Amino acid sequence: MSNGPDGSSAGADHIPVSADDTAREGDGAGLTGRAAPLEVQDLVAGYGGVTALHGVTVTAGAGAITAVLGANGAGKTTLLRAVSGMIKPRRGRVLLDGTDVAGRGPEQIVRAGIAHVPEGHGVIAELTVEENLRIGMMSWPSRLARRRAPESQRADRAAALDEEFARFKPLADRRRKLASTLSGGERQMLVIARALLARPRVLLLDEPSLGLAPRVMAQVMDLVVRLSRERGLTIVLVEQNARSALSIADHGFVLNLGRVVASADAPTLAADVALRHHYLGF
Amino acid sequence: MAEFLQLTLSGISFGMVYAAIALSLVLIWRGTRVLNYAQGGMAMFTTFIAIEVIYRTHNYWAGFVVALAAGLVLGAICELTVIRPTLSRPPLNAVIVTIGLLILLEGLAGILFGGQFRSFPAAFSITGLKVGGTALGVSRFDVFVVAAVLATTLVLAVVFKYTSAGLRMRATAFNATIAQLSGIRVARVLTVGWALAGLLGALAGVLVSPSTFLYPNSMDIIFVYGFTAAVIGGLDSPAGAVVGGLLLGLALSYVGGYVGGSVGSELTSLVAFGILIAVLMIRPDGLFAGARMRRV
């Protein structure tokens, strides 16, 4: 485990790089001049007779980290599941670069450019590390669709794999081992690497720090920051741990009982004592 | 000693048929968490198709190939039409649907092909082989049975382990949510799984029918043996299914051979049920289940 690039962990003194925030509560407008890659508008979703989201509007700025916060049952996970197609929204739109993908299946939405790392158990323990990563490339266009020689496609895939192995050294060392042999932090690396292999424009992360030791958690947060800064990836980060999420996020939305109750840039949310006590628990 | 050898070899031959059925059950269980009680009925139906083709073309291999193809198609059709709607429902629904499918197939077979016992041809001679005057108790056809099931199993194992399609199937079996989020078309993978199971069942039907006669219920007892083999091996383990089939084939062969006369042959199905119950009571996850708990 050594992926802290410059030793700087996600500290409270981190300074977000986004432009001035202009979003108001429930306001779907873009954060900056650039169009937001992901705009969720008035989303209603739930399970069976239960409605978990009552018209949620959330915008994720290009190349920024957008934190979605709130207590248990606030609807954070449901929001990600509705965006990635795991559940069908009953109403509302999910705009990916202006195209509404709401209602499509997850296997289509990942092809459109949204990768979702669900909470917990995202590693397939019965498969090897490399096999887990190869699954990340299943959304790539098939041989027939691309009309390219199988050899060059194989080379593309091998190169993409090598890139992730170079980024995540501990995974490279265990390439042929079963994923069940990995530590918690390595598992989190594996699922994030697998999501990256889908070459998404938007990455949805559900509680990446769940169950990790504080030091490992800091490394994972650090990784999330680097993905945003270095790759320009648009990241939506759902976290129970609001303090550490806000320390790396550019913007934050607070959900409560399926509604957005606050939306502001991360430092503003972190400075709002009443909001923190009320909804964020710190 | 000669008797032991004969019983062992014929046990292996029958065991491979049970293994094929067991493997088809495992394929379906791993993909859809459904126990397919119609597997024997599907195998019976495709074997009837094979016999009709053989009678019309006078060519065994035409029937053999058509049976396997029919198995593929029947498996896919069953999944698409009756199984898929049950997958989002409580597990018992699928169980009942497969039992209904079994009754439907057996009824249809009776209507279309008749209820009488029909003899099914074998690909090769069924007279026993001899080595230096000692009868081995197996025929060329028995050798073919073992080779055919082994070859099919090996091909499947290689496909599962080393191809992208195989990885898609394994990923779907282990974690359908992750598979779907990664872009795998899970519904299509499940259909392919049922189709492959249909093919294995069809293979078992064609291989076993020369020794059992063919009639609408002829695969029922073979299904029970295959199911027992799958449970012995653990429903999640393809390798366990093959080993379970062999173990059961040997056990039944010894019981049938050493316990004299008609008692022995009557006893075999009883012994199979006894083994099934014993395994379910002592090691419900099967003899080859790892430390991993089954996630049901």
For the stretch B270-281, pLDDT in tens is: 888 888 888 888
CB contact under 8 A, A127 and B164: no
In this structure, is residue B268 part of a structural domain? Answer: no
- Domain, as residue range, for A255: 38-280
Q: What would the mean pLDDT of A178-185 be, rounded to a whole number?
A: 91
Q: What would the mean pLDDT of A199-222 be, rounded to a whole number?
A: 91
Instruction: Name the burial class of residue B12, with classes exposed (0-12), middle (13-18) and buried (19+) by CB atoms within 10 angstroms of its CB.
Output: buried
> How many structural domains does chain B have?
1
Contact residues, chain B, for A135 at CB < 8 Å:
167, 171, 178-179, 182, 184
Main-chain dihedrals φ then ψ at residue B129, nearest 5 degrees: -80, 150
In this structure, is residue B122 part of a structural domain? Answer: yes
- Is the pLDDT confidence value at B292 over 60? no
- Which tens digit of pLDDT belongs to each residue from B75-86? 999 999 999 999
Residue partners of B197: CB distance under 8 A and separation at least 6: B24, B25, B27, B28, B36, B39, B75
DSSP B118: B
Test mutation, A88, A126, A134, A137, chain B, max B CBs within 10 A: A126
Q: What would the mean pLDDT of A7-26 be, rounded to a whole number?
A: 37
CB contact under 8 A, A86 and B177: yes
In this structure, is residue B232 part of a structural domain? Answer: no
What pLDDT sits at residue A275? 87
- Is the pLDDT confidence value at A182 over 50? yes
In this structure, is residue A12 part of a structural domain? Answer: no
In this structure, is residue B3 part of a structural domain? Answer: no
- Which tens digit of pLDDT belongs to each residue from A34-64? 678 999 999 999 998 899 999 999 999 999 9
pLDDT-derived band at A146, boundaries 50, 70, 90 = low
- Is the pLDDT confidence value at B296 over 60? no
Contact residues, chain B, for A110 at CB < 8 Å:
181-183
Tokens of B279: 């395994």
In this structure, is residue A22 part of a structural domain? Answer: no
Q: Which CATH number do you get for residue A256?
A: 3.40.50.300
In 3D space, the residue among B18, B83, B71, B47 whose CA is nearest the CA of residue B223 turns out to be B18
In this structure, is residue B277 part of a structural domain? Answer: no
In this structure, is residue B144 part of a structural domain? Answer: yes
pTM recorded for the entire structure: 0.83
In this structure, is residue B113 part of a structural domain? Answer: yes
What pLDDT sits at residue A147? 65
- Is the pLDDT confidence value at A8 over 60? no
Q: How far apart are CA A104 and CA A89, in angstroms?
A: 10
Q: What would the mean pLDDT of B205-233 be, rounded to a whole number?
A: 93
Judged by average pLDDT, the poorest of A176-185, B126-135, B161-170 is: B126-135
- Picking from A86, A107, A118, the nearest residue to B183 by CB comes out as A107
On whether the CB atoms of residues B226 and B211 are closer than 8 A, the answer is: no
Provide the mean pLDDT of chain B: 89
- Is the pLDDT confidence value at A27 over 70? no
What pLDDT sits at residue A32? 46
In this structure, is residue A8 part of a structural domain? Answer: no
What is the residue whose two structure tokens read 């316990």? B259
Asked if the C-beta of B164 comes within 8 angstroms of chain A's C-beta atoms, the answer is yes
Q: What would the mean pLDDT of A264-278 be, rounded to a whole number?
A: 89
Number of other CB atoms surrounding residue B86 within 10 Å: 18
What pLDDT sits at residue B261? 67
What is the residue whose two structure tokens read 């198995």? B71
- Is the pLDDT confidence value at B230 over 70? yes
On whether the CB atoms of residues A239 and A69 are closer than 8 A, the answer is: yes
Report the alpha-carbon angle B12-B14-B15, nearest 5.
60
Test mutation, B182, B189, B294, chain A, max A CBs within 10 A: B182
Q: What would the mean pLDDT of B142-153 be, rounded to a whole number?
A: 93
- Domain, as residue range, for B202: 13-217
Tokens of A92: 């509302």
Judged by average pLDDT, the poorest of A105-114, B121-130, B207-216, B236-245 is: B121-130
- Which tens digit of pLDDT belongs to each residue from B59-69? 999 999 999 99
DSSP B124: S
pLDDT-derived band at B220, boundaries 50, 70, 90 = very high
| For the ranges A28-32, A148-152, A172-176, the one whose mean pLDDT is highest | A172-176
In this structure, is residue A9 part of a structural domain? Answer: no
Q: How far apart are CA B42 and CA A7, in angstroms?
A: 62
In 3D space, the residue among B233, B235, B257 whose CA is nearest the CA of residue B244 turns out to be B233
- Is the pLDDT confidence value at B98 over 80? yes
CB contact under 8 A, B171 and A127: yes
In this structure, is residue A32 part of a structural domain? Answer: no
Q: What would the mean pLDDT of A132-154 be, rounded to a whole number?
A: 80
Contact residues, chain A, for B182 at CB < 8 Å:
110, 135-136, 138-139, 194, 198
On whether the CB atoms of residues A63 and A200 are closer than 8 A, the answer is: no
Residue partners of A73: CB distance under 8 A and separation at least 6: A257
In 3D space, the residue among B99, B15, B37, B34 whose CA is nearest the CA of residue B275 turns out to be B15
Q: How far apart are CA B49 and CA B18, in angstroms?
A: 21
Please report the DSSP string for B63-108 in residue order. Answer: HHHHHHHHHHHHHHHHIIIIIGGGTTS-HHHHHHHHHHHHHHHHHH
Q: What would the mean pLDDT of B9-20 be, rounded to a whole number?
A: 93
Q: How far apart are CA B74 and CA B50, in angstroms?
A: 13
Tokens of B231: 């449970």
Q: What would the mean pLDDT of B252-269 be, rounded to a whole number?
A: 80
In this structure, is residue A144 part of a structural domain? Answer: yes
In 3D space, the residue among B36, B143, B177 whose CA is nearest the CA of residue A191 turns out to be B177
Q: What would the mean pLDDT of A79-92 be, rounded to a whole number?
A: 95
What pLDDT sits at residue B269? 83
- Is the pLDDT confidence value at A25 over 90? no
Contact residues, chain B, for A125 at CB < 8 Å:
174, 292
Q: How far apart are CA B24 and CA B114, in angstroms?
A: 27
Q: What residue of A is the nearest CA neighbor of B175? A: A124
DSSP B212: H
Give the helix/strand (H/E) hosting B139: strand B134-139
What pLDDT sits at residue B148? 94
In this structure, is residue A14 part of a structural domain? Answer: no
Helix B186-212 to helix B39-57 angle (10° resolution) is 60
What pLDDT sits at residue A96? 95
In 3D space, the residue among A82, A91, A81, A83 whose CA is nearest the CA of residue A60 turns out to be A83
In this structure, is residue A75 part of a structural domain? Answer: yes
The more confidently predicted of residues A8 and A142 is A142
Provide the mean pLDDT of chain A: 85
> How many structural domains does chain A have?
1
What is the residue whose two structure tokens read 């990784």? A223
| For the ranges A224-238, B121-135, B258-272, the one whose mean pLDDT is highest | A224-238
What pLDDT sits at residue A4? 38
Q: What would the mean pLDDT of B286-294 be, rounded to a whole number?
A: 58
What pLDDT sits at residue A30? 41
CB contact under 8 A, B167 and A111: no
